[in-house]
Amino acid sequence: MRTLTDRYVHAVVRRVPDAMRPEVTADVTAMIADMTEARMADARMTEARHDEIAAATEADVEAAVEIAVLEELGDPAVLAREYSDSPQHLIGPQYFPVYTWLLTWVLPVALVAALVSNGLSYTLSTADAHIGGLLGTAIGKSIPAVFIAFAAVTILFAIIERATPMGTQAGTDNAAEQVGEKLRPVAARRPRWTVDSLKEVPPGGTSVRADAILSLVFLVLLALVPFVPTTAVYVGHLNDGETFINPDLGLFWLIGYWVLLAVTAVGAVLRIRRRRLSTGLVALDMITDLVMAVFLTIALLTQDVLHPAIEALTSLPVELWAIPLIWAITIWDQVSTVRGYRTHLAAHGRS
């Protein structure tokens, strides 16, 4: 079981951006150590001045001092916000009044303009225009325009919030140290927080096991793809309820597909059993992903993978959009796997 300090540092660090975590970990740990040492020195001086014999052991005193220091620092969530480079809100108090004022003008103008333009368009383009059609068309097409105007204004202010010094403090290379210098006087003004609120840090194997279980579920669903009929998603009219995959696709391609899924499933089962990652398991996953991408690419280039009736409905050849999608997913998965492994190694090194 980890100490209270470890749990506190974990509670702070998990709330800050990945790039800041090593620096914040070192700074918070050092700050707690300095505050603990200062309190211990004060306790020894007080004890010596009164010429008392401590009834408690050194370990008891250290535990009490540790609790006092952590409670002085306060809620880890608040402390994490002190360190974070980015604002914890979409639009902050500096710009929010201007934002709401602008919305009160932009939204009505957008609504009126959309109603007028859509109404005129309907009237001029429809020979037998009637009031019901006019209202339905004008209102139906104007609502998205209002949402678009709202989104545009919100995104604009969110960008301004993060791009200007007024919205957020510009990050610096020694941001953690600068924040750390300001924390001691600020901590005293925070609401009362106790170490009883700290949660136990989950062991590294918990997330590994959960990810592996999710992977197995996903692999089972992928294995069933060749059998899924179009009626399952209410588009049976496309090919009379047959499968999305071409029923005449060669058995070799189906077996190869299932074998690669099975290899990936073996890696997931091993992660569940071991509850930790290893270089071998990560390499197995990455290699299998690449082989699967190559396998699917060859299949799409040489075979009619989709049902012919469905493929005939698309003006764009399947391979032109499916292959880039496959490789985009593969590259994303490779990057995610490497990042996850590095995070796992870092967490394992601290445990």
Tell me: the pLDDT tens digits for 165-191? 555 444 444 545 555 555 555 545 545
Contacts of residue 306, Cβ cutoff 8 Å, sequence gap at least 6? 244, 245, 246, 318
Looking at residue 53, what is its pLDDT?
Answer: 42
The pTM (predicted TM-score) of the whole model is 0.52
Q: Out of 8-17, 188-197, 218-227, which region has the weakest mean confidence (pLDDT)?
A: 188-197
Strand partners, 306: 245
Looking at residue 173, what is its pLDDT?
Answer: 44
Q: Please, what's the b/e burial string for 156-195 (b: 16 or more CB within 10 A of its CB; e: otherwise)?
A: ebbebbeeeeebbeeeeeebbeebbeebeeebeeeeebee
Q: Out of 130-139, 179-188, 220-229, 309-318, which region has the weakest mean confidence (pLDDT)?
A: 179-188
Whether 1 has a pLDDT exceeding 50, the answer reads no
Looking at residue 271, what is its pLDDT?
Answer: 87
pLDDT in tens, 242-271: 999 999 999 999 999 999 999 999 999 998
Mean pLDDT of 202-219: 75
Highest-pLDDT range among 32-46, 103-117, 124-138, 185-199: 103-117
Mean pLDDT of 9-32: 84
Q: Residue 254 corresponds to which amino acid?
A: L
Looking at residue 347, what is its pLDDT?
Answer: 58
Q: How confident is the model at residue 160 (pLDDT cuts 50, 70, 90)?
A: confident
CB 76 within 8 A of CB 24: no
Tokens for 321?
């959009």
Closest to 321 (Cα-Cα) out of 338, 305, 335:
305
Average pLDDT over all residues of the chain: 80
CB 279 within 8 A of CB 339: no
Q: Residue 83 corresponds to which amino acid?
A: Y
For the chain, the domains span 4-85+170-197, 96-163, 204-350
Looking at residue 351, what is its pLDDT?
Answer: 43
Whether 36 has a pLDDT exceeding 70, the answer reads yes
Looking at residue 300, what is its pLDDT?
Answer: 94
Whether 344 has a pLDDT exceeding 90, the answer reads no
Q: How confident is the model at residue 51 (pLDDT cuts 50, 70, 90)?
A: very low
Looking at residue 159, what is its pLDDT?
Answer: 86
Mean pLDDT of 295-318: 89
Looking at residue 177, what is its pLDDT?
Answer: 52
Whether 96 has a pLDDT exceeding 80, the answer reads yes
Tokens for 60?
């008891």
Mean pLDDT of 194-220: 74
Contacts of residue 315, Cβ cutoff 8 Å, sequence gap at least 6? none
Whether 89 has a pLDDT exceeding 80, the answer reads no
CB 348 within 8 A of CB 205: no
More confident residue, 161 or 30: 30
Q: Out of 15-19, 303-307, 330-334, which region has the weakest mean confidence (pLDDT)?
A: 15-19
Whether 46 has a pLDDT exceeding 70, the answer reads no
Rg of the chain over CA atoms, in angstroms? Answer: 30
pLDDT in tens, 117-135: 888 777 777 777 777 777 8
Contacts of residue 161, Cβ cutoff 8 Å, sequence gap at least 6? 87, 89, 90, 91, 92, 94, 95, 167, 168
Q: What stretch of H or E contains 144?
A: helix 131-163
Contacts of residue 117, Cβ cutoff 8 Å, sequence gap at least 6? none
